[in-house]
Amino acid sequence: MDDTDQAPRSSAPKPARRGVVTVVLHAHLPYIRHPEWASFYEETWLYEAISETYLPLLRMMDTLESEGVDFRLTMSVTPPLCEMLADALLRGRFASRLDALERTARKEAERQEGTPLADSARFAVQELESVRATWERWGGEVLAGLRHHEQRGCLELMTCGATHGYLPLMATDEARRAQIAVACDTHERHFGRRPRGIWLPECAYAPELEWILADAGIRYFFLEKHGLLHAQPPARFGTARPVLTESGVAAFARDPECSNQIWSAESGYPGDPYYREFYRDLGYDGTEDQVGELLTGGGFRHPVGLKYHRITGKVRLDEKAPYLPLAARYQAAAHAADFLARRQHQLARLGEQMSLEPVVVAPFDAELFGHWWFEGPMFLEFLFRKAHFDQPLDGTSVGLATPCEVLDAEQPIEVVHPAQSSWGDRGYYRVWLNEGNSWFYKHLHAAEEAMVRLANTLVQPGSWELRAVNQAARELLLAQSSDWAFLVTMATAGDYPKSRTLLHLKRFQLLVEQLDDGVIDVDFLLECERRDNLFANIDFREWRSDRVLRHGAGAAVHSAPVHGR
């Protein structure tokens, strides 16, 4: 598929606009797949995200398509998430869990008849029925639905690092390049085209990463705001315009003003008292008879996704009021209107200072929309509908655009050297490199170097050697996932992130030893392949040193004049 596959867009005249907003969702979960267990708690992270975020977002896109709304949304779907969404085992387990959720919700709706929770319990059943309808509409293939909307031209899909590895903290360019190369190949396998954009894992940038992106054919990436504000020279328009790096790859930066309207714990929309309360869940409130079918075992309670209360205010969880679905929907519509009005004022203000079209980038974790903020997909649906139908014709309307559309407009763009940055706490790397997880890196760096050595020395491996070295590459990628270091810092997943890192490093080390000794333990290899079966077409040669683009050699360098005050 290429650009010619996109459906023709409306030729009707559009209102003059003052600038554009680029809405960006970063959809990612770590690769968690445990075929050795009948059920596994951490796998429920995926099932919750499918039912609460990915299917509601897909339902939103389907609804807007049916109404003729020409929306614009940019979305990364990371390679681990792609692989999990396409995996037959995980899709089957999700379908079974959706069945169990519906059974439990229907029983609870019957039990709550005549109580203050009756409306919210009935609504939960209706929501799950709607989610199931979207699941069945796409045959259980979420990626097929996303691919459809990209082909229509309303959705722009991006990739990420192969396993969301924290690129600036890797020791070798070979490892960084392999993360990008495997990611691009995986994206193409699932979506039928090479990715044009990338969400750098954790939005973490270090100088010269852009050359690796250029070599992979990437057109743009995203930065935290100070990546441009502290650039050399500082970006002339701050975060209000993309810039070019010397590699020719463009960088967009997060706009703090519009992001705070969502993210702010004090004033952000998701904290509205009428919205659904995330932390009060039937998994804790219900008896074992009520929720036992949804618990994963191990003798502990956990959220199951059935929530019947609203935020209410700053009260204890047991004082939360019943959820009022219609009131929450009204609030989502009002907040979408407020967000759009604020963007109109913001773009008007920026436009008075610039001769170029301002660009406001609004990036968020996709899982915020639906999982953490239940009404988030409603908010986006109202936002896109209002942007399409209800804008003024006086030149103050807000356009919606994808990054490629912004770049294709061919307005002048300045060249800068972005600053080291990430969107983590304090804006740099400390979440992923601190006293709790720093020990990860000496082992990860040693594994990187071993992988590079194998890639450079294995010339014509036999069939079992080839499978073993490719599996070693998978284990290294999985060990490099930034999620493990993040979860250690957050202390929200017990020993699981530490054990996953050590497990993959151990498997990697054993495979390397077998390759060095020339004796492959076939049973061990087959078990590794069964458990960690992502990246079917992985090629260990991606770690070869002669594939690294050095100092920008051979990459196109673009420059353009800068206009505007």
Q: In what order do the strands lie in the sheet with 197-198?
A: 197-198, 220-223, 250-253, 243-244
pTM of the predicted model as reported, rounded to 2 decimal places: 0.93
What pLDDT, on a 0 to 100 scale, did the predictor assign at position 266?
A: 77
Q: What is the pLDDT of residues 464-474, one digit of tens each?
A: 999 999 999 99
What's the Rg (C-alpha) of the chain? 24
H or E element, residue 341: helix 325-351
For residues 534 and 474, the answer to whether their CB atoms sit within 8 Å is yes
Residue ranges per structural domain of the chain: 18-96+151-159+195-279+326-426, 433-547
Percent of the chain with pLDDT over 70: 93
Q: What is the pLDDT of residues 158-174, one digit of tens each?
A: 999 999 999 999 999 99
244 secondary structure, DSSP code: E
Token digits for 28? 């990612």
Assess whether pLDDT exceeds 60 at residue 220.
yes
Q: What is the pLDDT of residues 341-353, one digit of tens each?
A: 999 999 999 999 9
Q: Give catalytic residues, as residue numbers.
A: 202, 365
Question: If pLDDT is split at 50, 70 and 90, which confidence band does 550 have?
Answer: low
Q: Which CATH class is domain 18-96+151-159+195-279+326-426?
A: alpha beta
- Give the residue, 553 or 513, on which the prediction is more confident: 513
- Domain 433-547 in CATH 1.20.1430.10: yes
Cα–Cα distance, 25 to 364 (Å, whole number): 5
Cβ-based neighbours of 220, under 8 Å, separated by 6 or more: 196, 197, 198, 242, 249, 250, 251, 252, 403, 404, 407
Q: What is the pLDDT of residues 41-60, one digit of tens each?
A: 999 999 999 999 999 999 99
Q: What is the pLDDT of residues 486-545, one digit of tens each?
A: 999 999 999 999 999 999 999 999 999 999 999 999 999 999 999 999 999 999 999 999
Assess whether pLDDT exceeds 90 at residue 305.
yes
What pLDDT, on a 0 to 100 scale, did the predictor assign at position 395?
A: 64
What pLDDT, on a 0 to 100 scale, did the predictor assign at position 265?
A: 66
Cβ-based neighbours of 240, under 8 Å, separated by 6 or more: 255, 350, 354, 358, 359, 360
- Note whether 18-96+151-159+195-279+326-426 and 433-547 share their fold: no
Cα–Cα distance, 362 to 378 (Å, whole number): 17
Q: What is the pLDDT of residues 235-250, one digit of tens each?
A: 999 999 999 999 999 9
What's the rounded mean pLDDT across residues 417-444? 93
HSE-CB for 433 with a 13 A CA cutoff: 16
